[in-house]
Amino acid sequence: MQDIASTASVILSAEGLCKLYGGNPAQALAMLQAGADRADIRRETGATVAVAGVSFDLSAGKILALLGRSNSGKSTLIRMVNRLVEPTGGTVFLNGRDMGAMTPADLVAVRRDTMAMTFGTAALMPNRSLLDNVAFGLEVAGLRRRDRRDRALAVLTRIGLAHVAAQLPHEVPFEVRLRIGLARTLIGDPSILLMDVPFAGVDPVLRQELEAEFLEWQRSHRATVLLSTQEPDEAVRLADHIAFMEAGRITQIGTPDEILESPANEHVRAAFQDIAASRRQRLRAAHLEELISHFERTAMEGLDTVDSSAGALDGTARQLTGIIDRTNEQASSTVVAAEQIASNVQSVSALADDTFRSLDEIRLRIDDSARIALSAVEQARKADESVHSLRESAQDIGNVVRIIDEITGQTNLLALNATIEAARAGEAGKGFAVVAQEVRQLASQTAKATQDVSFRIQAMQDATGNAALALQSITAVIEEISTISLAIARSMEAQAAASATIHASIDQAASGAGVVARNARHVTSGARDTESATRHVLTAAADLAGQTELLRRSIERLLDGIRAA
């Protein structure tokens, strides 16, 4: 047994509890402490041993089940804990306090506030309603009638019995009375609960319901429970620890797993053999079920993976088909574009050839124009020389005219003098006058001729000036033509260089267009190959999906067979 003083979590404990009925209790107790069995003690002392030196520790919030057959001492032991039965020997400690040393008032306070008890029979008061039976503990505690009835009704509502609150115990079935008795015990929220075969005589279905309700309350309130039962399976389901009792003694105490795995003797083994076998079977079944579930999960995960892979493969193949279709369209468009580019390149090349021919013709015409311009320059130079000669001739003629003018003046003067002399001479001078007259006429004709020559010289000078101006204009035009011709020649040289570059670019474009066309044809061919491969992939994916479905059905049949087995 654990040391109570050093174990803070222990709330209830017993040390060497004994209960003897009849005979010589002192002698019987001495024989009991010496190790005598119940039969020898009864034969020697006439005393009946109900409980023989029982010790245990019960921690807060835990459930300890006292398991044994009838007359094993479990009910007597529970009643000694709250001193409904006074022990013959031994001690009960509540939170380290000796309950045997408590006064009656202290004991009543413990039973009212701390430690409650329920029995296998409901033990309801027949003259009170079910609501008042539930509220009885609160009435003993001094709670006002309205408050205790409200709390009792809340409990009945929680367990689904509010509709029978006003009925009397004999008006409801046994299982309802049993639940009312349990509700009466739990309404005060005791920290320690003593339960003497609480679910005896109840059918298995109702027992499981009551056990579930009890465990829910115990876990929510963290109550400490000491219960007795004759059902090993009930002890295993409810208790944290089990104390197996026989002949008033605890022969083994431990957790359910410890007792099932290592029974202390044949009686314990026999009591739990059905549970152990059932548990082993359940464990094997659970293990088998776990294996089946694991296999099923693994198989299904594998099938799901295969399905997912097949789906992904199918989706990828369809995407690839779409890409191939778009690639084919783009390749076809590229081929058409390349052919169009090649056609355009040919047109540009022909246009460039025509341009080069036109440039050659322009170059020839410019050369002819240049030669004509040079000839015109030469003729202009000669005309300039002629004009210069004409100017010199005009100057000479002007000099002659001036001389003629002088001669004419002198002739006129001479004629005038001759006339005067003829007048003076009379007849003798008539002949001279005639001569003078002729001279005068000749001078007049000469003057007219000179004037005509002057007019013609002036006209020739004007014409020569106009010719000089025209020659200057022609010279300026020829120079401008020469400048333009030079610029055109330079531009043609630049155009020739550019044309060469254009020719090279055209050649490169034509070559590139050919490469593009070839590549596009290769792409189209590759796309066709890929499309064929994709169709094979789609076929394989469909086959894989079919095989996966067959495998799934086979696994399901296998699992059904395993479950049936």
β-bridge mates for residue 66, sequence order: 228, 243
Poorest-pLDDT segment among 39-48, 266-275, 489-498: 489-498
Does 299 map to a domain? no
The percent helix, strand, coil of the chain (3-state, each to 5) is: 75, 10, 15
Is the model's pLDDT at 439 over the cut of 60? no
pLDDT of residue 224: 94
Long-range contact set of residues 511-519: C-beta below 8 Å, sequence gap at least 24: 513/338, 513/341, 513/342, 513/345, 514/338, 514/342, 516/334, 516/337, 516/338, 516/341, 517/334, 517/335, 517/338, 517/339, 517/342, 519/334
Does 466 map to a domain? yes
Q: Residue 478: which CATH number?
A: 1.10.287.950
Within 8 A by CB and 6+ apart from 530, the residues are 320, 324
Is the model's pLDDT at 99 over the cut of 80? yes
Q: How many angstroms separate the CA atoms of 215 and 241, rounded? A: 15
pLDDT of residue 383: 58
User: Is residue 317 very low, low, confident or very high in pLDDT (cuts 50, 70, 90)?
Assistant: low
User: What's the mean pLDDT in 384-392?
Assistant: 64
pLDDT of residue 130: 93
How far, CA to CA in Å, does 207 sit from each of 70, 213, 417, 521? 20, 10, 192, 85
My answer on whether 434 and 554 are in the same domain is yes
Quote the longest CA-to-CA distance of the chain: 240
Q: How many angstroms separate the CA atoms of 93 and 338, rounded? A: 105
pLDDT of residue 118: 85
Poorest-pLDDT segment among 29-43, 369-383, 414-428: 414-428
Residues in the chain: 565
My answer on whether 404 and 553 are in the same domain is yes
pLDDT of residue 250: 94
Closest by CA to 73, choosing from 115, 21, 26, 34, is 21
Residue 172's identity, in one-letter code, is: V
Q: How many angstroms separate the CA atoms of 466 and 464, rounded? A: 5
Distance of alpha carbon 556 from the chain centroid: 35
Q: Residue 48: which CATH number?
A: 3.40.50.300
Scan for tokens 């401008």, then name that residue. Answer: 480
User: Is residue 347 very low, low, confident or very high in pLDDT (cuts 50, 70, 90)?
Assistant: confident
User: Is residue 448 very low, low, confident or very high in pLDDT (cuts 50, 70, 90)?
Assistant: confident
My answer on whether 456 and 557 are in the same domain is yes
Poorest-pLDDT segment among 102-106, 270-274, 327-331: 327-331
My answer on whether 246 and 367 are in the same domain is no
pLDDT of residue 78: 94
12 membership: H or E segment, kind and range: strand 10-21
pLDDT of residue 6: 40
Write out the DSSP string of 477-539: HHHHHHHHHHHHHHHHHHHHHHHHHHHHHHHHHHHHHHHHHHHHHHHHHHHHHHHHHHHHHHH
My answer on whether 371 and 517 are in the same domain is yes
pLDDT of residue 186: 83
pLDDT of residue 3: 40
My answer on whether 246 and 345 are in the same domain is no
Write out pLDDT tens, residues 455-471. 765 765 665 566 566 55
How far, CA to CA in Å, does 219 sit from each of 9, 12, 259, 321? 16, 18, 23, 64
Does 198 map to a domain? no
My answer on whether 377 and 514 are in the same domain is yes
Q: Which domain holds residue 365?
A: 340-563
Q: How many angstroms separate the CA atoms of 164 and 133, rounded? A: 12
pLDDT of residue 450: 61
344 membership: H or E segment, kind and range: helix 266-425
Among the three residues 225, 246, 264, which one is the final residue of a domain in this structure?
Answer: 264
pLDDT of residue 381: 73
Is the model's pLDDT at 94 over the cut of 50? yes
pLDDT of residue 446: 63
Among the three residues 264, 298, 322, which one is the final residue of a domain in this structure?
Answer: 264
Higher pLDDT, 258 or 494: 258
User: Is residue 239 very low, low, confident or very high in pLDDT (cuts 50, 70, 90)?
Assistant: very high
pLDDT of residue 489: 61
User: What's the mean pLDDT in 111-138?
Assistant: 87
Mean pLDDT score of the chain, rounded to an integer?
77
Contact of 73 with 88, CB cutoff 8 Å:
no
My answer on whether 259 and 368 are in the same domain is no
Does 491 map to a domain? yes
End-to-end distance of the chain based on CA atoms, in angstroms?
Answer: 47
Does 350 map to a domain? yes
Does 184 map to a domain? no
My answer on whether 235 and 87 are in the same domain is yes
Contact of 73 with 191, CB cutoff 8 Å:
no
Alpha helix (H) ranges present in 82-200?
104-113, 130-134, 136-140, 145-158, 174-186
Most confident by average pLDDT, 246-260, 410-424, 469-483 = 246-260
Contact of 254 with 67, CB cutoff 8 Å:
no
Does 481 map to a domain? yes
Does 109 map to a domain? no
pLDDT of residue 36: 83
Poorest-pLDDT segment among 404-418, 427-441, 477-491: 427-441
My answer on whether 372 and 509 are in the same domain is yes
Residue 141's identity, in one-letter code, is: A
Among the three residues 234, 264, 294, which one is the final residue of a domain in this structure?
Answer: 264
Q: Tally the domains of the chain.
A: 2
Write out pLDDT tens, residues 169-220. 999 988 888 888 888 888 888 899 999 988 877 788 888 888 888 898 899 8
My answer on whether 252 and 378 are in the same domain is no
